[in-house]
Structure 1
Amino acid sequence: MKPTQTIRQKIRLFLIVMMPILVTQLGLYAMNFFDTMMSGQAGAEDLAGVAIGSSLWVPVFTGLSGVLLALTPIISQTIGADRKEDVPFSVLQGVYLSVFLSVVILISGALVIEPILAYMSLDADVEHIAYHYLIGLGFGVLPLFIQTALRCFIDSLGQTRVTMLITLIALPINVFFNYVLIFGKLGFPQLGGIGAGYASAVTYWVILFITIYFVSRVRPFAAYGIFKTFVNVSLAKWKEILWLGLPIGFTIFFETSIFAAVTLLMSTFDTATIAAHQAAINFASFLYMIPLSMAFTLTIVVGYEVGAKRLTDAKQYSKLGMVIAIGMGIVAGIIIFLLREPVSRLYTVDAAVAVLIQQFLIYSIFFQLSDAIATPIQGILRGYKDVNIPFLFAFVSFWLIGLPTGYILANYTNFGPFGYWIGLITGLAVAAIALLGRLAKVEKGAAQSRLEG
């Protein structure tokens, strides 16, 4: 990262930071995308099983990894304030915390996965696939969370091209193991959708080892000597990370878990509906990586400028990011509308399921427009270390407004399963409006504090 003086320079730096993040996010989500798509080619039961398993896993992963995302503004502001000697300590505490979170996830999963799946009263084959898919994923939890902490360090330096390179290296490995484990090729057992979980776990270990190499041996990361000095666990630093990270994690959890809750509620419908819903969510979520990448970028650049007390520059980056995000959200909606039929064929060979996917995709267009506003604002606010109010907004918008609205429409009107999607759209729209107001207040408050200081 470096200071910029003109809008042209800001656009250039923003795109330099953002494009690798976008490629990285698309690459990371592509693993889930290929899990779902390739499982669907194995059969509707495999697609539904992976859908249920993924719906249980994604909110947990995104929520807890959101806690670790606190490292990005912490390190960005540290670097912006020219206190580089404090960076290694923060990174290592993030790694220690990631190990702790991994252990919590694995223990919790061992206790609750079976009861949750049993409660859903799924088809026996679907339940079996979902359970063993999650067991396979479990072997990759530890490396995934450690890598997330190290990635925050890499991105905080503005070296987002490195995480892009790591992801692009790992993606074909994931596709390869999906192919051989789902379909039983090259002497491997044919595991169907279950194989996608084990393929992802192998890929997460590969990503971790490559990331450790870069952090240890490649400049500018090696200059910080992250692994050269052992430090003890610092509960005070954990408290700082958690104080900032827990609201971030819960905000992300409330947003992603609402989709998981809808998938679980849809277990009352037939297998075709579950499969179609998850396929449509999977593709829409793939496009969601665009505003999410904007959010990550804005956290970095805004956090850097706020740390250096250049509030005018921070506000300029905010406006720039919002304009780009909204434009790309409109493009994403057009893509969904035009390509909904060929997209449906990527996920299934069943004509009835394909028609349902196309219908769900029409509703997902409205997701893109709301996400193009709400998600980048969340990234901006994290750059200011403002996380508690957005957390409350997320809870109210998604769980007190969106989910009840969807439940009523799905169960007491003729909308059926599509009612849940209308509820999701409602929650996202409310969140977007509330976050716009919050951003205006935070920027005004920061400017006043600067003048008083």
Structure 2
Amino acid sequence: MFADMRKIAGLAWPILIGQLAIIAFGVIDTVMAGRYSAVDLAALGLGSSIYVSVLVGMTGVLLAVQPIVGQLFGARRYVEIGEEVRQALWLAAALATFGFVVMYFPEPLLALARVPQALHERTEAYLRIAAFGLPASLVFRVYTALANAVGKPRLVMVLQLGALVLKIPLNYWFIFGGFGVPALGGPGCALASTVVNFLYAGTGLLLLAKVDVFEPFGIFKHFCWPERQRLLALLKLGLPMGLSYLIEVTSYTFMALFIARFGTTTLAGHQITGNWGAVLYMTPLSIGVATSTLVAQSLGARQYDAARKLARHGIAMACGVGTCYALIGFLLRPVILAAYTPNAAVIAAAMPLVTIMLCYHVFDALQATTAFVLRAYKVAVVPTLIYAVALWGVGLGGGYTLGFDVGGAIPSWLTGARGFWAASAASLAAAGCGLYVYWHTVSARLSRDAQAPAAVDAA
């Protein structure tokens, strides 16, 4: 068990550092925008929720290349890896075109939130600027998927840390203005991120062409047009993966849209709580990606029992760490909230939400890691159905019922934003348990099927 955990930790720590660098984008945005104005902080929360929904849904489709490449790498079929990456870049271009339109014309989504005009204008400005950075962000996701699949997450981490170093001064410049640039407030965060996205996407492509570890794949040795068969294979796995990501993120996005109806202060408290939860989520995410990489490589090498054992140990590791984070976070709530904002009203709004979020985090660790493991098995359709029932049904449906006191029988302490967060915690518990049971069934069946021919040969 501990040998497997050491392997997982060896891959997970650079993923974690890189992901923390990226999530620090959101922390920096929240802190800086919060000091500019409460309206800009609320607009940032709404705008970033919509942006993340679009980006994560499309990223999920592209990340289908990771388990495919991982299994090819385990089977030592290196030339095919280059083919898969080229097709993934074509797919990224198509997705970016669609995503740009959605983000540049966000009126249908903003109308759902029924926000004040001032908040509407700031959110729209944020999304229109962020739309221009979407293509670069998707290209970088292809680079990330490849590097992680072949066990080289440090090559991603270095770029993400470099991006963070650039993000801080750019954020300050564009939010507060100076040197001929007007103060943009919250939308300045989107402009800073767009500049950074293009810089590290370009650097990622250069590394694919120049770094020795990628040379056997021959990614840029020749040009190729989109290939129907490979694209269909990517989409067969990627679409349900992308939909599961979209379900997961839109459950949070629509929660933000509904919570916006309770006022700017409540929305700002929700934004801080969600941002803190996102920071905590980076550890189980990193463990999940690392576990998925090792599982996919074992499956490619036809070591099915080893893959099953790695998966089980990775899931246990993520849940254990998540529980420790929740306990520590509960004790440090006042200190951490004070670091986010000096506004006492926002802190008061966030305090009960944070308590629920810390319980939510333990279930989030279970479902996230198990979902990554299932993707290593190239299994995505049933997990997507589990997500839909749990996150949209229990989470959003239950949240709406509790939050808006549908029926008039909900206790006052469970209404408003607290009702939405409580329902989300319940939905993640349901999703995590469902995914784990399904993974256990799939992996056990695969191990049995692999052993059956050996038993026949021995007989």
Tell me the TM-score normalized by structure 2.
Answer: 0.94
**Residues 125 and 346 of structure 1, relative CA distance in 2, 3 Å threshold:** farther
Contact 1:41–1:347, Cα closer than 8 Å, also in 2:
no
Compute the displacement of 1:373 (Å): 1.1
User: Partner amino acid for 1:360?
Assistant: L
Aligned length: 446
Compute the displacement of 1:314 (Å): 0.6
Compute the displacement of 1:195 (Å): 0.2
Cα separation, 2, equivalents of 1:19 and 1:261? 32
Match of 1:274 among 248, 267, 278: 267
Compute the displacement of 1:152 (Å): 1.0
**Alignment match, 1:421:** 421
**Alignment match, 2:22:** 28
**Alignment match, 1:335:** 328
Alignment of 1:60-99 (within 5 A): 60-99=54-93
Cα separation, 2, equivalents of 1:362 and 1:198? 33
Contact 1:38–1:347, Cα closer than 8 Å, also in 2:
no
Structure 1 residues not aligned, in runs of 5+: 1-6
**Alignment match, 2:456:** none
**Alignment match, 1:49:** 43
Cα separation, 2, equivalents of 1:250 and 1:346? 35
CA offset digits 1:425-451 (Å, max 9, x no partner): 110111111112111101111112102
CA-based RMSD of the aligned residues comes to 1.4
Structure 2 residues not aligned, in runs of 5+: 454-459
Cα separation, 2, equivalents of 1:27 and 1:371? 20
Match of 2:9 among 10, 15, 19: 15
**Alignment match, 1:393:** 386
Cα separation, 2, equivalents of 1:395 and 1:389? 10
Alignment of 1:269-308 (within 5 A): 269-308=262-301
Cα separation, 2, equivalents of 1:345 and 1:91? 45
Contact 1:179–1:185, Cα closer than 8 Å, also in 2:
no
Identity %: 30
Cα separation, 2, equivalents of 1:98 and 1:127? 29
Cα separation, 2, equivalents of 1:346 and 1:130? 24
Cα separation, 2, equivalents of 1:231 and 1:378? 32
Q: Does 1:217 align with 2:213?
A: no
**Alignment match, 1:165:** 158
User: Partner amino acid for 1:224?
Assistant: F
Contact 1:410–1:417, Cα closer than 8 Å, also in 2:
yes
SS of 1:139's equivalent in the other structure is helix
Cα separation, 2, equivalents of 1:368 and 1:120? 26
Compute the displacement of 1:33 (Å): 2.1
Q: Does 1:248 align with 2:238?
A: no
SS of 1:104's equivalent in the other structure is helix
**Alignment match, 1:4:** none
CA offset digits 1:119-172 (Å, max 9, x no partner): 432122211111111111111101100111122111111001110111011111
Compute the displacement of 1:393 (Å): 0.2
Contact 1:333–1:369, Cα closer than 8 Å, also in 2:
yes
Match of 2:364 among 371, 377, 387: 371
Q: Does 1:323 align with 2:313?
A: no
**Alignment match, 1:447:** 447
**Alignment match, 2:222:** 229
**Alignment match, 1:432:** 432
Contact 1:37–1:279, Cα closer than 8 Å, also in 2:
no
Cα separation, 2, equivalents of 1:318 and 1:116? 38
Compute the displacement of 1:244 (Å): 0.5
